[in-house]
Amino acid sequence: MPQARLSIQVEEVEAGPEGLDKIVFMFQPNRGEGFHPVAQVASGGELARVMLALKSVLAAVYPLPTFVFDEIDVGVSGLAASRMAEVLKDMGRERQVLCITHSPVIAAMADHHYGSPL
């Protein structure tokens, strides 16, 4: 998604159980399309890639020991799946990454596989 952009809107709200701020992730999948709330415009594949991008940035900043991804490959194939696999592999060099996947491209990059008995 080379043309995609992510913006974060922060709005102060009255204090409540959800905090003092309302935060909305705004997404522009392609240049010129304008920003819209991620929850409203991102496809399953786009949402998976956005989440992986956010978590990979967090991994570079915060020393979290484990990241869990559940079917992050939904709606993703080809070159995008290969790039996601590389990002997951890079994250795994410094920490534990658990990934539930149906993608052979992503699974092929794993150091260990665990499956349920049939």
Strand runs (DSSP E) across 54-109, as ranges? 66-70, 96-100
> In this predicted model, what pLDDT tens digit does every residue of 36-61 receive, in sequence order?
998 888 777 777 777 888 888 888 88
**Token representation of residue 118:** 């049939």
Average pLDDT for 54-79: 85
Strands ordered across the beta sheet of 36-37: 5-16, 19-28, 36-37
Mean per-residue pLDDT of the chain: 86
Q: Are 67 and 95 contacting, i.e. CB atoms less than 8 angstroms apart?
A: yes
Q: How far is residue 88 from each of residues 27, 65, 113, 114, measured CA to CA in Å?
A: 22, 14, 14, 17
Confidence at 12, pLDDT banded by 50, 70, 90: very high
Q: For the chain, what's the residue count? A: 118
Beta bridge partners of 21: 12
| Residue 118: per-residue pLDDT | 62
Which of 75, 79, 76, 58 has the alpha carbon at shortest distance from 67? 58
Split at pLDDT 50, 70, 90, the class of 31 is confident
